[in-house]
Amino acid sequence: MSELRHQLEQLVFWDKLTDREKERVADYAVIRDYKKDSILHAMEGDCLGLVVVLEGSVRAYMMSEEGREITLYHIRKGEYDVLTASCIMYQVTFDTQMVLEEDSRILIVPTAVLAGLKQNNVHVRSCIYEILTQRFSDVMWTFQQIVFYGIDQRVAAYLLNHTEGSQAGDQTLIVHATHEQIAKEINTAREVVARIIKRFAEDSLVETGRGMVIIKDQAGLRGITEDFLLKEQ
């Protein structure tokens, strides 16, 4: 069995397709490899279709007229997205851009095929709207942070949500991220992040290293977030 056929059979709606629909999807779906920092989807780009991340990670964001990026959500291994098919999603009234966060492998069901499935197969249509609902929930969570919470809370929450391992005891965790990366994720300026992390270090909550932040006091950071911004990654 080819890799493409195997991956198609993992689609959540595959068993709900007719034989003819399966044949059409198999004829036109593709698996593509992308390098880190490649653009998967741009505002003026092609309307891709349904994308499934097989390996790697994708960051979806919006760009302001001033060139400032607002990170909306991430698409990680095993996750789906249909905002790259916004040309057939009449409920979608804003443009997103998507960039590869690491070398990635992406399954794409083209828009022309997806449009037919959406129109003729209620199970696919239901799946599409479920994916849209999840993505809009992610977007609302992002804007809730921006509107209602302070920068210090957002930095603390980012650090707690992105720990990658422990060192020197259970209370010390490491976050591998630069100030620039954190700033993009929480939608602020790098200088602001640097200032906040410097204050956290002065308060003995963290220590800084090259390209990393070492958390020394999880309880202290959690107290800053008040748990409102902590989210399952």
- pLDDT tens, position by position, 126-175: 999 999 899 889 988 888 888 888 899 999 999 998 887 654 444 568 99
What is the structure's pLDDT at 109?
Answer: 96
What is the structure's pLDDT at 90?
Answer: 63
What is the structure's pLDDT at 106?
Answer: 97
Let me know whether 187 and 103 are in one domain.
no
How far is residue 69 CA from its own chain's centroid? 14
Give me 76's structure tokens. 């990680």
- How many C-beta neighbours within 10 Å does residue 226 have? 12
Q: Is residue 230 part of a domain?
A: no
What is the structure's pLDDT at 44?
Answer: 65
- Specify which residues 98 forms β-bridges with: 41, 60
pLDDT < 70 stretches in the chain: 1, 43-45, 89-94, 165-172, 227-233
What is the structure's pLDDT at 147?
Answer: 85
Rounded Cα–Cα distance for residues 123 and 115 (Å): 13
What is the structure's pLDDT at 39?
Answer: 92
Q: Is residue 9 part of a domain?
A: yes
Let me know whether 28 and 117 are in one domain.
yes
CATH of the domain at 171: 1.10.10.10
What is the structure's pLDDT at 14?
Answer: 97
Q: Structural domain tally of the chain? A: 2
Let me know whether 37 and 134 are in one domain.
yes
Q: Sheet harboring 104-110: ordered strands across?
A: 30-34, 104-110, 49-55, 80-81
Q: Is residue 233 part of a domain?
A: no
Let me know whether 104 and 168 are in one domain.
no
Q: Which range marks the domain in which residue 15 is found?
A: 3-145
What is the structure's pLDDT at 233?
Answer: 42
Q: Please say whether the beta carbons of 96 and 62 come within 8 A.
A: yes
What is the structure's pLDDT at 166?
Answer: 52
Q: What is the pTM of this model?
A: 0.78
